[in-house]
Structure 1
């Protein structure tokens, strides 16, 4: 059972709503509930109780200081307390609030429609990650800069490793493929996630070298899987600079050919931003990959301004719907509409469609109802090293996904 954080601050100008929320928190185990009748009072409590508070539940519409202002001011106060928005406003506004918080760095857990239920609040609280756990999950502290020498040593000593996240069909849970995700087994800092070193590699030759390292790890693993009778696709990510680098595509195709892994089992994932970096060169590179049988996936579809244009210009075989349109779509009408239309469009274009960021049974159920083909996300499995993945792949019963 999830331990409910305490003390919790409930902020709402309606006495009835505020008391209902406070009672709900106590029912779920909160030992101390503070209440604020508006945003101004909430900011006073946040200032005086900043070191004690473990959760804030705030309404948006309040006459003095609204909920958006409360969250913006929390940044100025350098508060890291988790926040849940509870509002009766339209779902599109709640989605905008979530996007705003993600971009500003506000520790927003979720934005929910009133009245909250026990299940909604319990689920929301379960997403709160203690600082101690968060620090352990990513070995590398934010802001650490790596020296080029460390990248060279990592490549020389093969410190990079591959983790595999499954892609399964929604109708039966059948394993169809994996996305290959890089990790760095740093000799001093432990397992470092890609978000801490890939940005530093972008724009340098290291991004090309590490891509080939991932490709080689993938091909070696696929040869082993094929020998065991496991025939699935593997997706690797390509950067914009790699697409434009002279000789890069030649080397990639040669390595696939030498491995004797069928090119049709390799999928290259490219973001639309990567394509737009140098459109003519990028389209030429993608055309050559398709001519040699390699699959092409447009990654994070819907997050840019030119997604539709890219679909009409590039020879994609797969469309990956970004998690921003997937997770929570069962609660948000506008997200569901966009998700449904994207799935239908992909079907009409004869593209395989994969929904990313499937985190809950509700996400899974909605995607099945919308006849989405494949799904990927924590509800199915987290990225795993090869031995763990093989054990997972050999499980035939995936009824728990439904």
Structure 2
């Protein structure tokens, strides 16, 4: 359902059918004209238009509350901030009015920048909540009248306790009054909480509400921390400076408490079970409406990478562990009224510089250190004084030179943005965090084309402060540090390409400290190509910056593809994660191997796992290389006859309980000379030469025998087997599979047949015939790699699948990628609404695990749980998994 426009030319995009099935209205708008490029069925139905009528209707016909000037301001805000959430009113075609909650996001669809607008009718919700609000007003009023004198009683009792020289009897009496009064106050608070809970959702929808009078409602503070000792310490620190606080043990508990109470400020740890601090912040920002509590991160790793992640999640500020009482007092004064007087904040956050309305405020750099030497040690992986001096001097020279050129008026705002992008990364690398924060502000303003007057001069003054701090560090007595060379050398030859000399120096030192055998650096893409052509042996890994002058990282990798480079590539950049992901996708499509992507500054903790994955593969004979020997159909036919195919099994886990509930069967070829050959080397061969039926029978026979053994051991596991589209062209398949399962003494309900979505609709009628008969025989059917196909979404209602596997490309990293997250959540919601069991595959780390658990997905599969393994290894794995569930508190 679209108009004719460039977004919809050619093949039908996969997202169209997905949006058409959503229960919310969806519009895709041109950012420059705000004309609709796409609209779904729900949008038409809610506004009362037919598709043809909607195509001819300007947006001003149903958008009521905004003037053209307000619309232009909102468009600019979305372009700069990427998103806007608001409540407005739409006019239906029949003239009636509809209250709607609207979310607009700047997105890229089919290589075009668009606004994705999602709106929901909240009229009935408001009406119901108005009734709740009315019922709760009396309770809230009575509670307020009771707590005012009670607060005075408690206050005087506490004053008596604090006065020196009191008799023991008086102190005991005061403590009894305080204890009894506190119990009564807790009961009254619960009454207020009930009133707030009943009226809260209505308040969230109000477009404005006056701030509460401090005399009516005291400041409410929530501590979110899973460590009991830290809970007690922080609560006591807050009490000392006049802020009583509630405590939640993790993000999930905090979210539930926040929904019941109107907290003014939330102080949250980052790493917690069930739901971490960043996910908590995202959930609150999505659900808060006009109620916006201040959210403060409390972190033991208050470095730029971590703080950037917090800001992206919607947090307002950060406090480093261990928490200093004076810093805590300073932070609370900045975000809250004074606890003693109820007056305005002691310090207001700094105002934004002159510029567009969407410019975020300049953060207070005074809390950042001028020079954080421990951070530099961590990024270098070394405390060697000479090495630190070299990289610090390199930063000072590079920053001074770049700043001098900018102060001379060279290049304007664009040049400032380019230079500050580089200097921001360099400053973070050496630990000049205050300088880095200001450079980030200048970069943002340069991209917007409006740089605040005097900011470059301030940057020069901060650079001088860094220089003085460096001199102080070098003049201080040197602490002897014993070098700890790498236990073993990594047999890797690596070329690092970056235009920033500071980053080159840091990465060279980091790689050599890890034990990499050979490290070569290049300042530009052209220099790198020259070094590669002159090298006697090829580089096995390239670490390449994306944003470089003359030849950027994308152009450089295009040249590599033309030269048929066969090594791995690690992308590094200070750009956002979506840019890194887009570059990775492009480079992979060019036939190059992307080993990973890293944000600047690159840390040893992030780089080492990548190198460890790459290094063993250089010498391992376990797996045949992609460019290894080519196999013929006759080779494969003989392998099947000789029994060289073997099954490996990857466990599937029920997310809520952590129980092992099934496996996916994945075939391998144990080649007598080449070792373990993976299916990407022979499945296409089997399909092309008519061997897939024989191969599938072999795989299923082995799997059924194994399932019998598991059942005898008391393991009730569901067995998933992949089915080729060539199998689904055989009308006898349902009967043949049913006979195989019956002969094995198993029920068909234990078997899941997985079909890849992207190859689903070759012969729709035959496929529908076979799949329907398989379901009648009680086999379960799973649509695999969901989200990667282009034609099957609209067919889901006709095909009898009962399980949906969301593809790994939309699961891994989705928590920190808004685009992936939107696609994943839409797939999950759609699968659940049509009664399908949803599996998330590609769970590769704890972040993915927690994200799927919190989202409501039922089943998970991926390397974080286990890699595919031979059947005999599964029992030992299961013992280890049960131990991990307890040790890592995964459930």
TM-score by length of structure 1 reads: 0.89
| Residues 297, 49 of structure 1: alpha-carbon distance in 2 compared, 3 angstrom cutoff | same
**Secondary structure of residue in 1 paired with 2:760:** helix
Note if 1:327 corresponds to 2:816: no
Q: Structure 1 residues 372-381 or 284-293, which shifts more? A: 372-381
Cα-to-partner distance string for 1:119-164 (whole Å, 9 max, x where unaligned) = 222233233244544543238963512243x444434443322211
Q: How do residues 231-380 of structure 1 correspond to structure 2 at under 5 angstroms?
A: 231-380=716-865
- Runs of 4+ in structure 1 deviating by more than 6 angstroms, as ranges, are none
Note if 1:208 corresponds to 2:693: yes
Task: Report the counterpart of residue 707 of structure 2 in structure 1.
Answer: 222
Q: Structure 1 residues 15-24 or 220-229, which shifts more? A: 15-24
Cα deviation for residue 24 of structure 1 reads 4.3
**Secondary structure of residue in 1 paired with 2:598:** strand
Task: Report the counterpart of residue 661 of structure 2 in structure 1.
Answer: 176
**Secondary structure of residue in 2 paired with 1:172:** coil
| Alpha-carbon separation, structure 1, partners of 2:501 and 2:557 | 21
Cα deviation for residue 381 of structure 1 reads 1.6
Task: Report the counterpart of residue 93 of structure 1 in structure 2.
Answer: 579
TM-score by length of structure 2 reads: 0.42
Cα-to-partner distance string for 1:164-193 (whole Å, 9 max, x where unaligned) = 111112233210100011123344544432
Cα deviation for residue 336 of structure 1 reads 2.8
| Alpha-carbon separation, structure 2, partners of 1:308 and 1:103 | 24
Cα deviation for residue 211 of structure 1 reads 0.8
| Alpha-carbon separation, structure 1, partners of 2:822 and 2:741 | 40
| Residues 293, 246 of structure 1: alpha-carbon distance in 2 compared, 3 angstrom cutoff | closer
Cα deviation for residue 341 of structure 1 reads 2.9
Note if 1:47 corresponds to 2:533: yes
| Residues 305, 143 of structure 1: alpha-carbon distance in 2 compared, 3 angstrom cutoff | farther
Cα pair 1:11 1:38 within 8 Å, conserved: yes
| Alpha-carbon separation, structure 1, partners of 2:779 and 2:766 | 18
| Alpha-carbon separation, structure 1, partners of 2:608 and 2:671 | 37
1:124 to 602, 605, 610: 610
1:76 to 546, 550, 562: 562
| Residues 382, 157 of structure 1: alpha-carbon distance in 2 compared, 3 angstrom cutoff | same
More RCO (CA 8 Å, sep 6+): 1
Task: Report the counterpart of residue 522 of structure 2 in structure 1.
Answer: 36
Q: How do residues 84-163 of structure 1 correspond to structure 2 at under 5 angstroms?
A: 84-138=570-624, 142-148=628-634, 150-163=635-648
| Residues 387, 249 of structure 1: alpha-carbon distance in 2 compared, 3 angstrom cutoff | same
Cα pair 1:139 1:189 within 8 Å, conserved: no
Give aligned pairs, total.
401
| Residues 192, 122 of structure 1: alpha-carbon distance in 2 compared, 3 angstrom cutoff | closer
| Alpha-carbon separation, structure 2, partners of 1:277 and 1:151 | 25
| Residues 46, 336 of structure 1: alpha-carbon distance in 2 compared, 3 angstrom cutoff | farther
| Alpha-carbon separation, structure 2, partners of 1:320 and 1:284 | 22
Cα deviation for residue 200 of structure 1 reads 0.8
Cα-to-partner distance string for 1:235-261 (whole Å, 9 max, x where unaligned) = 011111111113122211222233331
| Alpha-carbon separation, structure 1, partners of 2:626 and 2:599 | 36
Note if 1:397 corresponds to 2:883: yes
| Residues 140, 115 of structure 1: alpha-carbon distance in 2 compared, 3 angstrom cutoff | closer
Q: Structure 1 residues 270-279 or 289-298, which shifts more? A: 270-279
**Secondary structure of residue in 1 paired with 2:726:** helix
| Alpha-carbon separation, structure 2, partners of 1:215 and 1:359 | 27
| Alpha-carbon separation, structure 2, partners of 1:236 and 1:193 | 16
| Alpha-carbon separation, structure 1, partners of 2:707 and 2:796 | 29
Greater helix share, 1 or 2?
Answer: 2
**Secondary structure of residue in 2 paired with 1:136:** coil
Cα pair 1:9 1:56 within 8 Å, conserved: yes
Cα deviation for residue 61 of structure 1 reads 2.0
| Residues 153, 9 of structure 1: alpha-carbon distance in 2 compared, 3 angstrom cutoff | closer
| Residues 330, 19 of structure 1: alpha-carbon distance in 2 compared, 3 angstrom cutoff | farther
Cα deviation for residue 4 of structure 1 reads 6.0
Cα-to-partner distance string for 1:23-78 (whole Å, 9 max, x where unaligned) = 54455455765432222222222222362645322111222111112112223333
| Alpha-carbon separation, structure 2, partners of 1:381 and 1:147 | 32
Cα deviation for residue 383 of structure 1 reads 1.6
| Alpha-carbon separation, structure 1, partners of 2:643 and 2:539 | 45
Q: Structure 1 residues 192-201 or 227-236, which shifts more? A: 192-201
| Alpha-carbon separation, structure 2, partners of 1:24 and 1:151 | 46
| Residues 41, 389 of structure 1: alpha-carbon distance in 2 compared, 3 angstrom cutoff | same
Task: Report the counterpart of residue 61 of structure 1 in structure 2.
Answer: 547
Structure number with greater Rg is: 2
Cα pair 1:298 1:320 within 8 Å, conserved: yes
Question: Any gaps of 5 or more consecutive residues in structure 2?
Answer: 1-486
Cα pair 2:782 2:802 within 8 Å, conserved: yes
**Secondary structure of residue in 1 paired with 2:759:** helix
**Secondary structure of residue in 1 paired with 2:542:** strand
Cα-to-partner distance string for 1:66-115 (whole Å, 9 max, x where unaligned) = 11121122233333343211122332222122222222221321122333
Cα pair 1:249 1:285 within 8 Å, conserved: yes
Give me the CA root mean square deviation: 2.7
